[in-house]
Structure 1
Amino acid sequence: MVGCLLIHGYTGGPHELAPLTAYLQKHTDWEIVVPLLPGHGEPLDLADLTYEDWLLAAEEAYLSLKETCDTIYVIGFSMGGMISVYLTAKYKVDRLILLATAGKYLSFGKIIVNIGEVIEDGLKGNLQENKYFNYYKDKLEQVPLQANIEFMKLVHQTRQYLKDVKVPVFIAHGQEDSLVPYKTAYYLEKELASEIKEVVIFDRSEHLICLGNDRDVLIKMVYDFLNQPI
Structure 2
Amino acid sequence: MIGCLCIHGFTGDPWEVEPVSNALSELEGWLVYTPLLPGHGEDLTKLKSASYEEWVLTVEVAIEELEKRCETLYVIGFSMGGMLASYIAARYPIHKLVLLNAAAHYLNPKQFLKDMFGAIRYHLTGSQEEDQLIELYEQKFRETPFAAVGQFLQLIQKTKPYASKVNVPTLIIQGELDGLVPLKSAYHLYDVIESERKELKVMKRSRHMICHGFETDKVIEEIKIFLISD
Superposition TM-score, scaled by structure 1 size: 0.93
Q: Distance in 2 between matches of 1:104 and 1:141?
A: 22
Return the offset for 1:118.
2.3
After superposition, the C-alpha distances for 1:3-41 in whole angstroms (9 at most, x for unaligned) are 000000000111111111111111232111010000111
Q: Distance in 2 between matches of 1:129 and 1:76?
A: 26
Q: Which residue of 2 aligns with 1:149?
A: 150
* Amino acid in structure 1 at the alignment position of 2:102: T
* Secondary structure in structure 2 of the residue aligned to 1:98: strand
* Secondary structure in structure 1 of the residue aligned to 2:97: strand
> Is 1:5–1:33's contact at 8 Å kept on the other side of the alignment?
yes
* Secondary structure in structure 2 of the residue aligned to 1:146: helix
Q: Distance in 2 between matches of 1:98 and 1:129?
A: 26
Return the offset for 1:152.
1.0
Q: Distance in 2 between matches of 1:157 and 1:129?
A: 36
> Is 2:16–2:212's contact at 8 Å kept on the other side of the alignment?
yes
Return the offset for 1:121.
3.5
Q: Which residue of 2 aligns with 1:200?
A: 201
RMSD: 1.7
Structure 1 residues 129 and 185, CA gap change in structure 2 (3 angstroms): closer
Q: Distance in 1 between matches of 2:146 and 2:65?
A: 32
Structure 1 residues 105 and 137, CA gap change in structure 2 (3 angstroms): closer
Return the offset for 1:128.
8.9
* Secondary structure in structure 2 of the residue aligned to 1:161: helix
Q: Distance in 1 between matches of 2:206 and 2:129?
A: 20
After superposition, the C-alpha distances for 1:207-226 in whole angstroms (9 at most, x for unaligned) are 11111111111101101111
Q: Which residue of 1 aligns with 2:3?
A: 3
Superposition TM-score, scaled by structure 2 size: 0.93
Return the offset for 1:186.
1.1
After superposition, the C-alpha distances for 1:53-90 in whole angstroms (9 at most, x for unaligned) are 11111111111111111210000000000000111111
Q: Distance in 2 between matches of 1:202 and 1:73?
A: 22
* Amino acid in structure 2 at the alignment position of 1:98: L
* Amino acid in structure 1 at the alignment position of 2:103: A
Q: Distance in 1 between matches of 2:184 and 2:142?
A: 30
1:14 aligns with 2:14: yes
Q: Which residue of 2 aligns with 1:186?
A: 187
Q: Which residue of 1 aligns with 2:43?
A: 43
Q: Distance in 2 between matches of 1:8 and 1:101?
A: 10
Return the offset for 1:116.
2.6
> Is 1:118–1:132's contact at 8 Å kept on the other side of the alignment?
no
* 1:1-230 to 2 correspondences below 5 Å: 1-44=1-44, 45-122=46-123, 124-126=124-126, 131-229=132-230
Q: Percent identity?
A: 39
After superposition, the C-alpha distances for 1:185-222 in whole angstroms (9 at most, x for unaligned) are 11110011111000000101111111111111110110
Q: Distance in 1 between matches of 2:81 and 2:169?
A: 18
Structure 2, unaligned runs of 5 or more? none
Structure 1 residues 200 and 129, CA gap change in structure 2 (3 angstroms): closer
